DNA sequence: GAGCACTGC
């Protein structure tokens, strides 16, 4: 079955294969999987309606996962770990926790914990399950995400939480004593925290069992950790783990968690079960020859679809804001031309990326009249984070902007990278949610075959300093021997250990320092921010620093609607100060508070209202931690230098020279690579401060210039 | 003076 579709210009596709991907409805039927853009926090109780009870029960039984119910329960009973390959639309996320509850896994006050990589997923799936059970959200069924704990320590039996939250919980309850079963959902996404949780759970469940028998009482005396492992052995052999993953990774998870070394499959401690989804076919088309410019090819392909294909909305994937805006404006131009020539069917072209102002984001979810074809041009946000219904055609450029980490320079950056096959299939699947669809890949089938099977896990392309600090705080002394599902580069580990040592979080033996390291680990921030906060009392500016730290956690403080870019830039300059971005942010926050957190004021000054509200919440959490550690509330009373020096005390490792000839130096928060390297959140500092505040990290060279232990990048 | 994938604590 080969069909050639020639586009107007030179992007030519051939139909190459027909795969079944994706589904009717989401895994949580009835739940809007869309990111809840309307509120930061949810938690209003769902009222039980007895009239819908029967139909809910019938709906549950119609889900593909239902016929595997007994098998799943049997496997969970018989194996410590069960890997469930649940295709999209199988109903695994909402149903398996309920099966476990009904089978008695939450007896004796135990809790069934289900993790999700994203906050919205945790809250929306919890909402759906509560509704199915006719329960108030927060009672029998609850959720726990940062800033929003909607669970009852006594009543909640099924708890949905973000994977990051589970790792946090392990800091106070390393054995996860309150849980009988943990289900790691969407484990194939391999987020940083899912991977940390996976390693920790293996340690809790399996790893220690083998060492215990080899240790003598004498060793026990000298290694207090050993008593912990005894506890684990006694108490947590009952803990069950379910790993919900895509097909590709199932074997890897199985091998990781299977502790059976006897070679006798009857002694396996891990099992795999596959649950089919509900799928619509998606035809995949490849270009006949490589595309020289995927931005142009995207525009051509949209127009070709519009002219020759039947009804159905279009979703195009690009890598960043700039590309999205460019394609949107090119398409809008073409759409105007079409309407001038009286084409009956209209095009409505909409951009979608995380930095877009809220109102503009919401437009992609609006329904269009039948005479209008919606075209959404999006970044990777549309691959997993949000779902737009009604998409029938997908255009995939084969690229994505990914975080990369260079352990030699200790620089994290964003780089345009070819996607993986798994990612390409996920994108294609977006065309088949409501009916059969088509996916146009702007690359040849040959090039598709060259793509890597799956995306490199975040763990292997991140700065590991926050990870190592948390592991140390969890009592993992030898992080180099921690059982990582995918071990990160050794150089990244070394780099992280060095940075943590320079920050004073670790001593020369790599042990967590007390109190500095212990306290740093408690902050939900990177170690540099934590250090800066903990030092702020000494510098006499904790009030300002806590605001700056909170503001820097918020992306896109300044919004620029595309028809008002000029005035937005003008407003933005009003807040800017010569010292740099950190003090600019401080200005914005203080002005926001002065204007009673008014949303109208934000709109007038092109500021991100919800972002600022989040900064207020983050600030409160950080303030709470500073109080806990008895960091005094002090203010610099308008003196910028103490604030800048305090910033340097945390960020000295991120120092750069503004110009090779000058003594003008800056500290920065992060680096972004587009056409050039850009540093984000930059502040000017005196080079002498670097030597003064981090003498172990910088040394003064002969001619007054600095040399750092790090390789230079810029 | 425009430049900034996406999450998460």
Sketch the domain layout of chain A as residue ranges.
Answer: 4-21+279-456, 64-275, 523-708
pLDDT at res. A625? 94
Residues A325, A309: Cα–Cα separation, whole Å: 24
Residue range A216-234: average pLDDT? 45
- CB of A151 lies under 7 Å from some atom of strand B: no
Do the beta carbons of residue A123 and residue A114 sit within 8 Å?
no
- CB of A119 lies under 7 Å from some atom of strand B: yes
Query: SS3 of A671, please?
Result: strand
- Residues A166-202 pLDDT 10s: 999 998 888 999 999 999 999 999 999 999 999 999 9
Between residue 319 and residue 338 of chain A, the positions with Cβ below 7 Å from nucleic chain B are 319-322
- Which nucleotide C1' is nearest A673 CA? B4
Q: Minimal CA–CA distance to A621: which of A170, A146, A124?
A: A146
- CB of A405 lies under 7 Å from some atom of strand B: no
pLDDT at res. A700? 52
- Which nucleotide C1' is nearest A356 CA? B4
pLDDT at res. A641? 85
Residues A161, A249: Cα–Cα separation, whole Å: 22
Residues A78, A330: Cα–Cα separation, whole Å: 59
Residue range A411-435: average pLDDT? 89
Buried b (16+ CB within 10 A) or exposed e, A114-150: bbbbbbbbbbbbbbbbbbbbebbbbbbbbbbbbebbb
Q: Which token pair is A65?
A: 């996962």
DSSP codes joined into one string, A350-407: EEE-TTS-HHHHHGGGS---TTEEEEEEE-GGGTTT---TTEEEEEE-SEEEEEEEET
* Number of helical H runs and strand E runs in chain A: 26, 23
- CB of A420 lies under 7 Å from some atom of strand B: no
Residues A554, A122: Cα–Cα separation, whole Å: 21
Instruction: Say what percent of chain A tops pLDDT 90.
Output: 53
Confidence tier at A129 by pLDDT (50, 70, 90): very high
Confidence tier at A616 by pLDDT (50, 70, 90): very high
Q: Do domains A4-21+279-456 and A64-275 have the same CATH topology?
A: yes
CA A683 to C1' B4, whole Å:
17
Q: Minimal CA–CA distance to A37: which of A561, A387, A373?
A: A387
Region for A663 from its dihedrals, namely left if φ exceeds 0, alpha if ψ lies in -120 to 50, beta otherwise? alpha
- CB of A479 lies under 7 Å from some atom of strand B: no
Q: Which token pair is A260?
A: 């059976």
Mean pLDDT taken over chain A:
82
B5 C1': nearest CA residue: A401
3-state secondary structure A505-574: CECCCCCECCCHHHHHHHCCCCHHHHHHHHHHHHHCCHHHHHHHHHHCCCCCCECCCCCCHHHHHHHHHH
CA A471 to C1' B8, whole Å:
16
CA A455 to C1' B6, whole Å:
13
Instruction: Note the residue count of chain A.
Output: 714
Residue range A56-78: average pLDDT? 92
- CB of A192 lies under 7 Å from some atom of strand B: yes
Q: Which token pair is A578?
A: 């010569």
pLDDT at res. A376? 95
The reply to whether CATH 3.40.50.720 applies to domain A4-21+279-456 is no
pLDDT exceeds cutoff 60 at A595 = yes
DSSP codes joined into one string, A590-620: HHHHHTTT-HHHHHHTTB-HHHHHHHHHHHH
B3 C1': nearest CA residue: A678
The more confident residue out of A504 and A220 is: A504
Question: Residue A683 forms beta bridges with which residues?
Answer: A580, A667
Confidence tier at A246 by pLDDT (50, 70, 90): confident
- CB of A318 lies under 7 Å from some atom of strand B: no
pLDDT at res. A660? 52
Residues A606, A505: Cα–Cα separation, whole Å: 39
Query: SS3 of A499, please?
Result: helix
- CB of A117 lies under 7 Å from some atom of strand B: yes
Q: Which CATH architecture has domain A64-275?
A: 3-Layer(aba) Sandwich (3.40)
- CB of A387 lies under 7 Å from some atom of strand B: no
pLDDT at res. A19? 43
H/E stretch holding A271: strand A270-275
Between residue 342 and residue 361 of chain A, the positions with Cβ below 7 Å from nucleic chain B are 353-355
Query: SS3 of A621, please?
Result: helix
Evaluate the CA torsion angle A134, A136, A138, A140 in order and state its sign: negative
For A437, phi then psi, to 5°, come to -135, -175
pLDDT at res. A529? 92
Beta-carbon contacts of A627 under 8 Å, excluding residues fewer than 6 positions away, are none
CA A404 to C1' B3, whole Å:
19
């Amino acid at each position: 079955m080969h069909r050639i579709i020639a586009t107007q210009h030179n992007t030519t596709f051939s139909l190459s294969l027909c795969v079944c991907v994706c589904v009717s409805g989401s895994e949580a039927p009835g739940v809007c999987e869309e990111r809840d853009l309307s509120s930061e926090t949810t938690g209003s109780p769902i009222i039980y309606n007895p009239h819908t009870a029967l139909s809910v029960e019938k709906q549950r039984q119609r889900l593909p996962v239902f016929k595997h119910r007994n098998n799943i329960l049997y496997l969970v009973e018989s194996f410590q770990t069960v890997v469930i390959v649940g295709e999209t639309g199988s109903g695994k996320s909402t149903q398996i926790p309920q099966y476990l509850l009904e089978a008695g896994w939450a007896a004796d006050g135990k809790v069934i914990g289900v993790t999700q990589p994203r906050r919205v997923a945790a809250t929306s799936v919890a909402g759906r399950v509560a509704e199915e059970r006719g329960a108030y959200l927060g009672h029998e069924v609850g959720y726990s995400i940062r800033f929003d704990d909607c669970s009852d320590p006594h009543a909640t039996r099924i708890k949905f939480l973000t994977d990051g939250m589970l790792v946090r919980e392990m800091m106070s309850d390393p054995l996860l004593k309150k849980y009988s079963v943990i289900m790691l959902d969407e484990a194939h996404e391999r987020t940083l925290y899912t991977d940390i949780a996976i390693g920790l759970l293996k340690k809790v469940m399996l790893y220690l069992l083998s060492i215990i028998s080899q240790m003598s009482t004498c060793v026990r005396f000298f290694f207090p950790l050993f008593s912990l492992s005894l506890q684990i052995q006694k108490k947590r052999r009952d803990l069950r783990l379910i790993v919900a993953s895509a097909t590709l990774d199932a074997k890897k998870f199985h091998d990781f968690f299977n502790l059976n070394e006897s070679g006798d499959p009857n002694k396996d401690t891990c099992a795999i079960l596959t649950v089919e989804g509900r799928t619509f076919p998606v035809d995949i088309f490849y270009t006949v020859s490589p595309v020289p410019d995927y931005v142009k090819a995207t525009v051509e392909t949209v127009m070709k679809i519009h002219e020759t294909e039947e009804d159905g909305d279009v979703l195009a994937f690009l890598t960043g804001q700039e590309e999205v805006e460019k394609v949107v404006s090119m398409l809008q131009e073409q759409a105007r031309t079409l309407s001038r020539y009286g084409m009956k069917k209209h095009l409505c072209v909409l951009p979608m990326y995380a930095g877009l102002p809220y109102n503009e984001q919401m437009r992609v979810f609006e329904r269009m009249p039948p005479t209008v074809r919606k075209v959404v041009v999006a970044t990777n946000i549309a691959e997993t984070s949000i779902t737009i219904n009604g998409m029938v055609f997908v255009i995939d450029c084969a690229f994505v902007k990914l975080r990369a980490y260079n352990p030699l320079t200790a620089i994290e950056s964003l780089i345009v990278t070819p996607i993986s096959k798994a990612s390409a299939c996920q994108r294609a699947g977006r065309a088949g949610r409501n009916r059969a669809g088509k996916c146009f890949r702007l690359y040849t089938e040959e090039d598709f075959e060259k793509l890597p099977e799956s995306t490199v896990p975040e763990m292997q392309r991140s700065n590991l300093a926050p990870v190592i600090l948390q592991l140390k705080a969890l009592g993992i002394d030898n992080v180099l021997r921690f059982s990582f599902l995918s071990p990160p580069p050794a150089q990244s580990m070394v780099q992280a250990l060095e940075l943590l040592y320079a920050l004073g979080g670790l001593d020369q033996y790599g042990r967590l320092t007390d109190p500095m390291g212990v306290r740093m680990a408690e902050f939900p921030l990177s170690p540099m921010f934590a250090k800066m906060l903990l030092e702020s009392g000494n510098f006499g500016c904790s009030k300002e620093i806590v605001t700056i730290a909170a503001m820097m956690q918020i992306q896109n403080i300044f919004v620029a609607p595309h028809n008002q870019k000029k005035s937005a830039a003008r407003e933005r300059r009003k807040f800017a100060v010569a010292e740099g971005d950190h003090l600019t942010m401080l200005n914005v926050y203080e002005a926001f508070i002065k204007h009673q957190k008014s949303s109208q004021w934000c709109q007038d000054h092109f500021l991100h209202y919800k972002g600022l509200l989040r900064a207020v919440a983050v600030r409160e959490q950080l303030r709470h931690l500073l109080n806990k550690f008895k960091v005094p509330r002090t203010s610099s009373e308008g003196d910028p230098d103490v604030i800048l020096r305090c910033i340097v005390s945390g960020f000295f490792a991120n120092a750069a020279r503004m110009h090779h000839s000058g003594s003008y130096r800056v500290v920065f928060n992060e680096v972004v690579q587009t056409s050039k390297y850009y540093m984000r959140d930059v502040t000017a500092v005196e080079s002498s401060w670097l030597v003064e505040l981090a003498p172990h990290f910088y040394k003064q060279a002969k001619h007054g210039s600095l040399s750092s232990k790090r390789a230079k990048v810029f």
